[in-house]
Amino acid sequence: MERHPYDTFIDAFVLTKIPADLLACVLWLAGALLTIYIPYLNESFLRVLFGVPLVLFIPGYALIAALFPSARDIDGIERVALSFGLSIAIVPLTGLALNYTPWGIRLDPIVICLSLLTIGLCVIAQYRRTQIPADERFFVPFQEIRQSVTSEFFKKTGTSRTDRILSIILLIAIIAAVMTTVYVIVVPKEGEKFTEFFILGEKQKAADYPTQLVTGTNSSLYIGIGNHEYRMINYTVETYVLNMSFDQNTNTTSLEAMDLLDRFTVSVPHNQTIINPYFFIPPSTKYNRVDFLLFNETVPGNRITGMDRINRSYRDLHLWVSVRSPK
């Protein structure tokens, strides 16, 4: 006689104990969330230790558990291999889907999606396992694995002293290899140092820049700074309006006027990108260019002006504009 779905639901989530493997997935997810959002923890090696399996293994394992609730479906080796493969497929597809949403590919949306996906798949796996007889359900024999490892490496009878020593050396080598891998991931080799400096239009896209300006009227865009210098840097941003003229005879441009619009500082931690809205008002119709200068920690004195100041900047950007008076 076929069971009613309500009875299966009650059996799965009220009467039946949560399997150890699914509980481990949820607890690992909780640990990853803590290391991502709790101060001090999110700057320690624990963030990488919990985050890498969350990206490379946990989602795929939860999906395999939901698709194959029976122990007869696939064996343990296949489950592990498919868990890695599907996780590597799921996470990029999640990012691709988020790219077409208003939230974009950012930390919080990705963490929320992976968390909901993992929990949802674990719930489905628990429900599907309850639908089949208890002796056919898949489970990870943690107790047998522990006993087997203990018996292999620490048993005192049935093996020679040399075999026990070799087994302990093998265990130490495995632990050392794992710790070395974690260290390489947590403390990567310092690469090229550089800073990203960019401007975006009103919709935070590399388009629709304000080029038709009106004196006395606010124009807006976004200024972005990405720090990859391996240290916290206090950047200084200066914005100028310029009047540039072009000499057709010599095929060169010359600076006729350059006036400061604004100066502000931005503190950016290593490996982070800050994008802030920026508003400016063109003071006169004589200008035809807006320049954005970025200085890292050395800002030249006010006596350095014109093209010399632009050349002294760490990064510089500009917009060619047309300025008119209000009607």
* pLDDT tens digits, one per residue of 178-204: 677 766 666 666 668 899 999 999 888
Report long-range pairs for 309-313 (Cβ below 8 Å, ≥24 apart). 313/238
Residues 238 and 256 in one domain: yes
Q: Using the 3D structure, point to which of 140, 173, 207 is the last residue of a domain.
A: 140
pLDDT (0 to 100) of residue 198? 95
Give the domain extent around 309.
194-324
State the total domains in the chain: 3
Residue 235 phi, psi dihedral angles, 5° rounding: -85, 150
- Would you say residue 1 has pLDDT above 60? no
Higher local confidence (pLDDT), 173 or 324: 324
Residues 6+ apart with CB under 8 A from 203: none
pLDDT of residue 15: 59
Which residue has 């900047």 as its token pair?
A: 313
Contact 214, 324 (CB under 8 A): yes
Top-ranked range on mean pLDDT: pick from 35-44, 89-98, 178-187, 307-316: 307-316
Same domain, 152 and 48: no
What is the arithmetic mean of pLDDT over 24-50? 87
pLDDT at 186: 61
C-alpha angle 52-61-117 in degrees, rounded to nearest 5: 80
As a whole number, the mean pLDDT across the chain is 85
- State pLDDT tens for residues 129-169: 888 887 888 887 767 666 666 666 566 555 667 777 777 78
